[in-house]
Each structure stands twice: as structure tokens, then as C-alpha cells.
């Protein structure tokens, strides 16, 4: 079982299950949980409820991510999983995923995102996958992802999985839904913002650009120079320019700069500057240091 094989186990439904377990001191019978989350009602003399497998898929997603354990007939909440809000569940899941080995089935989310970021640098555009059909995207992803566990014959990506991967990446703050066509964009600003707020660094003090990114790579190993990013680069035969940032990372940095969370410090045409991906509408094209502002 994996998160992707539990297609009805959406983040909203998993959150409902976790909130239910918290209300019951971390333990509840499977039957009671199913009754709470999938209540039946009478209509025209018939009993109506969701399909019988829906709760099983919610439980499958929750157990795969390690938030819930099934002990006999009882569901038990992982004591490390104590989110008070939906966003905090996203944070808990994100930090769980970055610790998984690359061959783990659920590691596919962040390994795939590392490939998206790396491919954007290679092609010099973050919009490169937007015109692809799901089968085209899946074929490209399957060729670029690391191998799964030994003996695992299931493909890591196929056209059926693509929309569910996007859905979870939106939940994690690495993509955004759009009310347009295409209906999504690669945008990790939300996740970047949340990880910056957790940094135990002095505010209002400039940090050398490369040092700032070194710290962020520990929190976000799929960004430029991170371990997942560099592994993806080797798999797609790409040699990144260490002074040139990818379109995806560049836009996240610009977003936080514009919001006032970060200041990208600019000082002339220094050779030590890191170059952002070109954007004619933005005043910052390179920077030598980053200042985390006091409100972050």
C-alpha cells in the first residue's frame, strides 16, 4: 500500500481521520471510525453511503504515511503526529517524506518534484510540463525517477497517478491549483515560506547567499544543489551552473522578497552574486546575500 495507491485517501479525508483520533485520545475502533467518517442515511427507503472501499483507502493513505497504525481492530494515532490544523498536517507529512529513502514508494512525491525543479533549470522554464498530457508526463517522469525497491514491479509513475501526485504536491505547498487552463503551476513559495519561518537564524542580519541556500537545502533537498536535485541532475545528464538558479527557485525567492519576508541583497556586479532566472518584470536579477526580515 502507498499513498498513491489510495486514490480516495485525499489529504482532507486523512485530516478528518486524524482529527477524529485526536478527539478519542489517539485510539478508536476501525468500525467506529468508518461510521463517523462515512455516515449512512436513509433516502426513499434505501440506505445511502459512500462506496464501501472509500474508508479503506483513507486508512491506507494514513497508514502508508505513518500517521496511523492498525492494531487488530483498533486504529492508533502515531504519537509524533499531533497537528492542530490542516496546514500543520502538511508540515508533518512533508518532514516525514524528506527522511524517506529514495526507493520508498512514498518518496516519489519529493523525488518527482526534484526532477521538476532540475528539468526547469535544464530547459530554462518552469512551464515546460504544462502542455503535456498525463501519459506524456508519466512517461517522462518514469524515465527520470530513481528506481524503486528491489522486487517492486509496479511503475513509480503512470498516467493514472499523475493527478493524484499533483493533488498531494499542492497540499505540501509545492504546487498551486489554478482556475484556468492549465489548472496548476509549479510554485514552491508556500513551502519555502513555511521552512524559512522555522529557521533559527538571526533576523535583519545579511547571510551570504550560498550559506543561506546551504541551510535551505537541508530543509528542502530538492532545490538547486540539494541531494535530491543533484541526483536528479545525474539521471537526466544535466550539469547545473552553480551560479545560476533554476526558474522554480528563482520565483520562490522573488515572491518572498516581494512579500517582505526576505530581502535579496544586491551589490553591483559582483562575481560572487548568484543569478536568478531572467524575469524582465522584476528588479532583482542577482544577489550576494539574503536578509530574513523581522516578521518572518
The strand pair at 27-29 and 74-77 is best described as antiparallel
Q: How far is 192 from 149, CA to CA, in rounded Å? A: 30
Q: What is the CB neighbour count within 10 angstroms for residue 201?
A: 14
Residue 121 has which C-alpha cell?
Answer: 533549470
- Burial category of 84 from C-beta neighbours within 10 Å (exposed 0-12, middle 13-18, buried 19 and up): exposed
The DSSP secondary structure of 184-247, one letter per residue, reads: EEE--HHHHHHHHHT----TTSEEEHHHHHHHHHHH-TTSTTSHHHHHHHHHTT----TTB--H
Angle between helices 11-23 and 86-97 (to 10 degrees): 110
Q: What is the CA radius of gyration of the chain?
A: 21
**d(C-alpha 101, C-alpha 271), whole Å:** 37
**Residue 91, exposed/middle/buried by CB under 10 A (0-12, 13-18, 19+)?**
middle
77 membership: H or E segment, kind and range:
strand 74-77
Alpha helices in 98-133 (DSSP H): 108-123
List, as one string, the DSSP characters of 88-102: HHHHHHHHHHTTS-T
- Ramachandran sector of residue 174 (left: φ over 0; alpha: ψ -120 to 50; beta: rest): alpha
d(CA 8, CA 193): 29
Listed in sequence order, the residues at least 6 apart from 93 whose beta carbon sits closer than 8 Å to its beta carbon are 65, 67, 171, 172
Task: Write down the pLDDT at residue 41.
Answer: 46
How remote is the C-alpha of 88 from its chain's centroid?
13
Q: What three-state secondary structure class fits 281?
A: coil
Residues for the chain: how many in total?
Answer: 296
Q: Dump pLDDT digits (tens) for 182-221.
A: 778 999 999 999 999 999 999 999 999 999 999 999 999 9
pLDDT at residue 153, rounded to an integer: 62
pTM for the structure as a whole: 0.92
Nearest one of 256, 251, 279, 264 to 116, comparing CA atoms:
251
Residue burial 95-111, b: 16+ Cβ < 10 Å; e: rest: ebbbebebebbbbbbbb
pLDDT at 50: 53
pLDDT of residue 52: 57
Query: Do the beta carbons of residue 53 and residue 8 sit within 8 Å?
Result: yes
Local mean pLDDT, 10-residue blocks, the chain (296 residues)? 86 95 95 83 49 83 96 96 95 96 94 97 93 93 85 80 94 90 88 96 94 97 98 97 96 97 86 90 94 86
Amino acid at each position: 500500500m502507498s499513498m498513491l495507491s489510495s486514490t480516495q485517501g485525499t489529504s482532507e479525508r486523512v485530516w478528518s481521520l486524524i482529527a477524529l483520533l485526536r478527539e478519542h485520545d489517539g485510539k478508536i475502533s476501525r468500525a467506529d471510525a468508518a461510521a463517523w467518517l462515512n455516515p449512512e442515511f436513509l433516502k426513499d427507503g434505501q440506505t445511502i453511503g459512500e462506496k464501501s472501499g472509500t474508508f479503506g483507502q483513507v486508512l491506507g493513505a494514513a497508514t502508508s504515511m505513518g500517521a496511523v497504525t492498525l492494531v487488530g481492530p483498533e486504529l492508533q494515532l502515531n504519537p509524533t503526529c499531533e497537528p492542530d490544523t490542516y496546514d500543520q498536517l502538511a508540515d508533518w507529512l512533508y518532514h516525514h517524506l524528506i527522511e524517506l529513502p529514495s526507493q520508498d514508494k512514498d518518496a516519489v512525491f519529493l523525488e518527482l518534484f526534484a526532477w521538476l525543479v532540475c528539468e526547469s533549470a535544464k530547459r530554462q522554464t518552469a512551464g515546460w510540463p504544462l502542455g503535456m498530457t498525463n501519459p506524456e508526463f508519466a512517461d517522462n517522469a518514469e524515465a527520470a525517477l530513481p528506481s524503486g525497491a528491489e522486487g517492486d514491479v509496479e511503475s513509480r509513475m503512470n498516467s493514472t497517478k499523475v493527478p493524484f501526485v499533483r493533488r498531494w504536491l499542492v497540499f505540501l505547498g509545492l504546487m498551486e491549483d489554478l482556475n484556468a487552463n492549465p489548472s496548476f503551476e509549479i510554485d514552491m513559495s508556500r513551502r519555502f515560506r513555511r521552512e524559512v519561518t522555522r529557521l533559527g537564524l538571526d533576523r535583519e542580519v545579511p547571510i551570504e547567499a550560498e550559506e543561506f541556500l546551504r541551510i535551505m537545502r537541508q530543509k528542502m533537498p530538492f532545490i538547486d544543489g540539494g541531494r535530491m536535485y543533484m541526483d536528479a541532475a545525474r539521471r537526466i545528464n544535466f550539469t547545473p551552473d552553480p551560479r545560476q538558479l533554476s526558474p522554480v527557485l528563482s520565483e520562490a525567492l522573488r515572491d518572498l522578497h516581494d512579500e517582505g519576508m526576505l530581502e535579496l541583497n544586491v551589490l553591483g556586479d559582483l562575481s560572487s552574486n548568484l543569478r536568478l532566472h531572467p524575469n524582465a518584470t522584476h528588479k532583482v536579477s542577482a544577489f550576494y546575500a539574503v536578509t530574513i526580515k523581522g516578521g518572518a
